[in-house]
């Protein structure tokens, strides 16, 4: 089974990058399943019902999120209706929505998608390790699901890598989101779990992590409140993570995927 995780979608440029590159990637990589982190897709902050529909229509099967999931208030009611939109599993149980879904790929195989948020330099949520451990024990690879993908939304690379090793042998892919910068460490751990510290973003890389450069530079140089951050609106680049999963549910191949005008393009070869 071939699965693509699309990094954080930032604003209109990120959405346009999805619409531009995803149809071709779906064909060229012979994808069975597509996940995208959409928490910055609505002008950089949150996601809306309309954008969810746009992403699903573009071929995305599940949308994950993170600390900006509640920025658009309309999502609080919508997320209970749309099970394919996830919020981090370690939010309190009283929060709307769910942190995981078991759904079916185009090839008819069950896929478990988990969304969790790290805690270092992030909101003080419940323990993500305990929440994920319980879920992996409840839905083991091969016997319960054909693949398990974890989007671990976090700031610290050490916490992300710790989660990857914690899940080794029990998940198909542990991929990080949130930092908006693609890392060069896509690998398969000894137990067979694919890992990538951060998939990067889908957005304008002529920016400060997807945002127009002026306001962040003002904040860093003046140490004063400035204008509200707004997404950069130049041509978008697609960044993501590709994983190929064997019948065991473990990974046989993982690679970064980058397509667009700013970064060095990367595309795994597929027969």
Q: Do 240 and 5 touch, CB atoms closer than 8 A? A: yes
Q: Do 60 and 238 touch, CB atoms closer than 8 A? A: no
Q: In what order do the strands lie in the sheet with 2-6?
A: 62-64, 33-37, 2-6, 238-245, 251-259
Rounded to 5°, the CA angle 238-240-244 comes to 135
In total, the chain counts a number of residues equal to 271
Phi, psi torsion values for 139, nearest 5 degrees? -125, 75
DSSP-derived letter for residue 141 is: B
Report the run of H or E that residue 161 belongs to, with start and end. Answer: helix 157-166
Beta bridge partners of 176: 152
Reply yes or no on whether 68 is catalytic: yes
Q: Which of the following is catalytic: 68, 153, 178, 180? A: 68
Residues designated catalytic: 68
């Amino acid at each position: 089974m071939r699965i693509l995780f699309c990094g954080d979608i930032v604003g209109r440029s990120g959405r346009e990058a999805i619409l531009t590159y995803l149809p071709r990637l779906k064909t060229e990589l012979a994808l069975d399943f597509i996940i995208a982190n959409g928490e910055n897709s609505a002008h950089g902050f949150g996601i809306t019902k309309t954008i969810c529909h746009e992403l699903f229509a573009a071929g995305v099967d599940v949308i994950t999120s993170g600390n900006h999931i509640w920025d658009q208030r309309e999502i609080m009611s919508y997320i209970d209706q749309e099970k394919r939109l996830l919020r981090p599993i370690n939010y309190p149980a009283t929060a709307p929505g769910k942190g995981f879904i078991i759904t079916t790929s185009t090839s008819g195989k069950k896929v478990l998608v988990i969304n969790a948020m790290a805690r270092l330099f992030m909101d003080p949520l419940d323990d993500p390790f305990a929440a994920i451990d319980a879920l992996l024990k409840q839905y083991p690879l091969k016997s319960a699901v054909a693949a398990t993908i974890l989007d671990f939304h976090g700031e610290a690379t050490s916490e992300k890598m710790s989660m990857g090793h914690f899940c080794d042998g029990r998940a198909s892919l542990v991929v990080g989101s949130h930092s908006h910068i693609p890392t060069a460490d896509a690998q398969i751990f000894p137990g067979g779990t694919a890992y990538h510290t951060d998939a990067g973003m889908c957005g304008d890389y002529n920016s400060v992590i997807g945002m127009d450069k002026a306001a962040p530079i003002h904040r860093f140089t003046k140490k004063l409140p400035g204008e509200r951050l707004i997404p950069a609106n130049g041509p978008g680049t697609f960044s993501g993570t590709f994983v190929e999963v064997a019948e065991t549910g473990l990974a046989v191949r993982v690679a970064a995927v980058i397509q667009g005008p700013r970064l060095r393009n990367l595309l795994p070869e597929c027969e």
